[in-house]
Structure 1
Protein backbone atom coordinates (compact mmCIF):
# COMPACT_ATOMS: atom_id res chain seq x y z
CA UNK A 1 0.00 0.00 0.00
CA UNK A 2 1.20 3.50 -0.80
CA UNK A 3 1.71 5.80 2.16
CA UNK A 4 -0.12 9.08 2.06
CA UNK A 5 1.74 12.33 2.57
CA UNK A 6 -1.30 14.55 3.00
CA UNK A 7 -3.90 14.83 5.73
CA UNK A 8 -6.82 17.08 4.81
CA UNK A 9 -9.32 18.20 7.43
CA UNK A 10 -12.52 20.09 6.65
CA UNK A 11 -12.96 22.64 9.43
CA UNK A 12 -15.46 25.35 10.25
CA UNK A 13 -12.78 28.01 10.76
CA UNK A 14 -9.25 27.38 9.43
CA UNK A 15 -7.77 30.31 11.38
CA UNK A 16 -9.07 28.99 14.72
CA UNK A 17 -8.08 25.43 13.82
CA UNK A 18 -4.59 26.57 12.78
CA UNK A 19 -4.07 28.21 16.18
CA UNK A 20 -5.14 24.95 17.86
CA UNK A 21 -2.78 22.80 15.79
CA UNK A 22 0.01 25.36 16.13
CA UNK A 23 -0.05 24.81 19.90
CA UNK A 24 -0.34 21.01 19.60
CA UNK A 25 2.40 20.61 17.02
CA UNK A 26 4.64 23.43 18.31
CA UNK A 27 4.88 24.56 14.69
CA UNK A 28 3.53 27.45 12.64
CA UNK A 29 1.66 26.89 9.39
CA UNK A 30 3.72 27.46 6.25
CA UNK A 31 0.63 28.94 4.57
CA UNK A 32 -2.41 30.50 6.20
CA UNK A 33 -5.48 32.36 5.00
CA UNK A 34 -9.13 32.73 5.94
CA UNK A 35 -9.98 29.62 3.88
CA UNK A 36 -7.07 27.27 4.52
CA UNK A 37 -3.90 26.58 6.48
CA UNK A 38 -1.03 24.22 5.72
CA UNK A 39 1.44 22.65 8.15
CA UNK A 40 4.46 20.61 7.05
CA UNK A 41 5.15 18.02 9.74
CA UNK A 42 8.60 16.76 10.76
CA UNK A 43 7.97 13.59 8.72
CA UNK A 44 7.39 15.70 5.61
CA UNK A 45 3.67 14.94 5.60
CA UNK A 46 1.34 17.89 5.15
CA UNK A 47 -1.64 18.74 7.35
CA UNK A 48 -4.14 20.91 5.48
CA UNK A 49 -7.08 22.65 7.13
CA UNK A 50 -9.73 23.73 4.63
CA UNK A 51 -12.88 25.71 5.28
CA UNK A 52 -16.01 23.59 4.87
CA UNK A 53 -17.89 24.64 1.78
CA UNK A 54 -21.39 23.66 2.80
CA UNK A 55 -21.02 23.89 6.58
CA UNK A 56 -21.22 20.12 7.06
CA UNK A 57 -18.43 17.97 8.43
CA UNK A 58 -16.92 15.11 6.46
CA UNK A 59 -18.12 11.61 7.31
CA UNK A 60 -14.94 10.62 9.17
CA UNK A 61 -11.41 11.81 9.79
CA UNK A 62 -8.50 9.97 11.36
CA UNK A 63 -5.00 11.27 12.00
CA UNK A 64 -2.22 9.09 13.40
CA UNK A 65 0.87 10.12 15.34
CA UNK A 66 3.71 7.69 16.10
CA UNK A 67 4.69 7.65 19.78
CA UNK A 68 7.08 5.53 21.84
CA UNK A 69 4.98 3.38 24.17
CA UNK A 70 1.72 3.49 26.05
CA UNK A 71 2.93 6.04 28.63
CA UNK A 72 3.71 8.53 25.85
CA UNK A 73 0.21 8.01 24.42
CA UNK A 74 -1.36 8.59 27.84
CA UNK A 75 0.74 11.70 28.49
CA UNK A 76 -0.07 13.21 25.09
CA UNK A 77 -3.77 12.42 25.49
CA UNK A 78 -3.89 14.22 28.84
CA UNK A 79 -1.98 17.20 27.44
CA UNK A 80 -4.20 17.53 24.37
CA UNK A 81 -7.41 16.98 26.34
CA UNK A 82 -6.43 19.87 28.64
CA UNK A 83 -5.92 22.14 25.64
Structure 2
Protein backbone atom coordinates (compact mmCIF):
# COMPACT_ATOMS: atom_id res chain seq x y z
CA UNK A 1 0.00 0.00 0.00
CA UNK A 2 2.76 2.50 0.95
CA UNK A 3 5.48 1.14 -1.33
CA UNK A 4 5.33 4.03 -3.82
CA UNK A 5 5.57 6.73 -1.15
CA UNK A 6 7.56 5.17 1.69
CA UNK A 7 10.86 6.74 0.65
CA UNK A 8 9.30 10.22 0.68
CA UNK A 9 7.71 9.70 4.11
CA UNK A 10 10.88 8.14 5.54
CA UNK A 11 13.07 10.96 4.24
CA UNK A 12 10.74 13.58 5.69
CA UNK A 13 10.57 11.84 9.08
CA UNK A 14 14.37 11.60 9.16
CA UNK A 15 14.82 15.30 8.42
CA UNK A 16 12.51 16.12 11.35
CA UNK A 17 14.15 13.46 13.53
CA UNK A 18 10.76 11.84 14.17
CA UNK A 19 10.21 8.11 14.58
CA UNK A 20 7.87 6.68 11.98
CA UNK A 21 5.34 4.10 13.16
CA UNK A 22 4.62 1.57 10.40
CA UNK A 23 2.30 -0.85 12.20
CA UNK A 24 -0.48 -0.36 14.72
CA UNK A 25 -2.65 -3.17 16.08
CA UNK A 26 -1.62 -5.42 13.21
CA UNK A 27 -2.45 -2.83 10.54
CA UNK A 28 0.01 -1.16 8.20
CA UNK A 29 0.11 2.59 8.98
CA UNK A 30 2.36 5.60 8.53
CA UNK A 31 2.14 7.72 11.64
CA UNK A 32 4.39 10.18 13.45
CA UNK A 33 3.93 11.18 17.07
CA UNK A 34 5.28 14.51 18.25
CA UNK A 35 5.90 15.25 21.90
CA UNK A 36 6.86 18.89 22.35
CA UNK A 37 8.97 20.56 25.02
CA UNK A 38 5.75 21.95 26.46
CA UNK A 39 4.56 18.40 27.04
CA UNK A 40 1.88 18.51 24.35
CA UNK A 41 1.26 15.55 22.06
CA UNK A 42 0.37 15.61 18.38
CA UNK A 43 0.06 13.05 15.61
CA UNK A 44 0.61 13.34 11.87
CA UNK A 45 -0.41 10.41 9.70
CA UNK A 46 -0.66 9.45 6.05
CA UNK A 47 -3.44 7.43 4.45
CA UNK A 48 -3.43 6.15 0.89
CA UNK A 49 -6.69 7.18 -0.76
CA UNK A 50 -5.98 5.80 -4.24
CA UNK A 51 -3.10 5.04 -6.58
CA UNK A 52 -1.79 8.63 -6.66
CA UNK A 53 -3.76 10.37 -3.88
CA UNK A 54 -2.96 10.49 -0.16
CA UNK A 55 -4.59 12.14 2.81
CA UNK A 56 -2.29 13.69 5.39
CA UNK A 57 -3.84 14.52 8.75
CA UNK A 58 -2.63 16.10 11.95
CA UNK A 59 -4.33 16.52 15.31
CA UNK A 60 -3.71 17.23 18.96
CA UNK A 61 -5.64 14.20 20.28
CA UNK A 62 -8.47 16.59 21.19
CA UNK A 63 -10.30 19.15 19.05
CA UNK A 64 -7.69 20.55 16.69
CA UNK A 65 -7.35 18.74 13.36
CA UNK A 66 -6.17 19.55 9.85
CA UNK A 67 -6.24 17.42 6.69
CA UNK A 68 -4.73 17.72 3.24
CA UNK A 69 -5.63 15.52 0.30
CA UNK A 70 -2.83 15.67 -2.26
CA UNK A 71 -1.21 13.82 -5.12
CA UNK A 72 1.93 11.85 -4.34
CA UNK A 73 4.04 14.70 -5.75
CA UNK A 74 2.84 16.99 -2.94
CA UNK A 75 3.42 14.68 0.06
CA UNK A 76 6.50 16.51 1.35
CA UNK A 77 4.82 19.91 1.09
CA UNK A 78 1.70 18.65 2.87
CA UNK A 79 3.80 17.06 5.62
CA UNK A 80 5.73 20.32 6.00
CA UNK A 81 2.51 22.32 6.25
CA UNK A 82 1.04 19.85 8.77
CA UNK A 83 4.17 20.13 10.90
CA UNK A 84 4.07 23.93 10.65
CA UNK A 85 0.44 23.97 11.81
CA UNK A 86 1.20 21.61 14.71
CA UNK A 87 4.03 23.92 15.84
CA UNK A 88 1.65 26.88 15.60
CA UNK A 89 -0.90 25.06 17.77
CA UNK A 90 1.83 24.24 20.25
CA UNK A 91 2.89 27.87 20.50
CA UNK A 92 -0.68 28.93 21.28
CA UNK A 93 -1.69 26.19 23.73
User: Shorter-chain-normalised TM-score: which range?
Assistant: 0.3 to 0.5
Higher RCO by CA contacts (8 Å cutoff, separation 6 or greater): 1
Q: Which has the larger radius of gyration?
A: 1
- TM-score, normalisation: structure 1: 0.43
- TM-score, normalisation: structure 2: 0.40
